Homo-oligomer: A and B are copies of this chain.
Amino acid sequence: MNDVPEAAPGTRKIVEAILLLADEPVPASQMGEVLEVPRAEVESVLRDLAASYESEGRGFVLRESAPGWRLYTDPECAPWLERFVTGHRHARLSGASLEVLAIVAYKGPISRSEIAEIRGVDSDGVVKTLVQRGLIEASGPGGPGAANLFEVSDEFLERMGLRSVDELPPLTDFMPDAEAVEDMEAKLSPNA
């Protein structure tokens, strides 16, 4: 069943990991750089993988397009995936999404890595979801791979009943001064 190219088992494994992680097509040459193997070898591994996913009847397919290689769901599964997507679970904004939305609203235009910096956690997945849901959008230089800057969308503003982000309440309204913090802490402490 698994005809693994025996010469480079390590390469196949890492290529699969890169494909799973990537959220846009990855050029074979880039994988070659990371792996320090010739591009041709990576391409051979990719073609073998694509063929094996198909012959094994996997739920995903590996396709090459102009920019590179990417995993997609098998089109046969589309009816079930539609049902999955329309399910209620995705309709709710997670706490992490709301936080990123708030950061983008107040600090946009802002890059992915700046958002990660502020939150202390990788936030790419959340950013991507918010873009897909039309709540934030890439502005600035753009282009695939470029360090996109993100800001909230017009749809977001409309749904919040705002004409622009300038209408958001000033952040200082929410930053308690040092004295207030001490007060609060005193009230929270068990022996106060």
Contact = CB atoms under 8 A, between A and B. Distances in A.
Interface of A: 1-2, 4-5, 9-10, 12-24, 26, 30-31, 33-35, 56-61, 71-77, 80-81, 83-91, 94-96, 112-113, 115-117, 120-125, 128-129, 132-134, 185, 188-190
Contacts of A61: 2
Contacts of A123: 87
B84 A34 contact: yes
A133 B120 CA distance: 7
B60 A17 contact: yes
Of all A-B residue pairs in the complex, the 6 with the closest CB atoms, nearest first, are A87-B116, A16-B59, A17-B59, A17-B77, A113-B190, A17-B73
Contact of A21 (B10, B84, B91): B84
A81 B4 contact: no
A121 B95 contact: no
A157 to B, nearest CB: 15
Contact of A81 (B21, B121, B129): B21
Contacts of A121: 87, 89-90, 133-134
A124 B9 CA distance: 32
A71 B10 CA distance: 19
A88 B30 CA distance: 10
Given A34-B80, A84-B34, A60 B16 contact: yes
Contact of A112 (B16, B23, B59, B86): B86
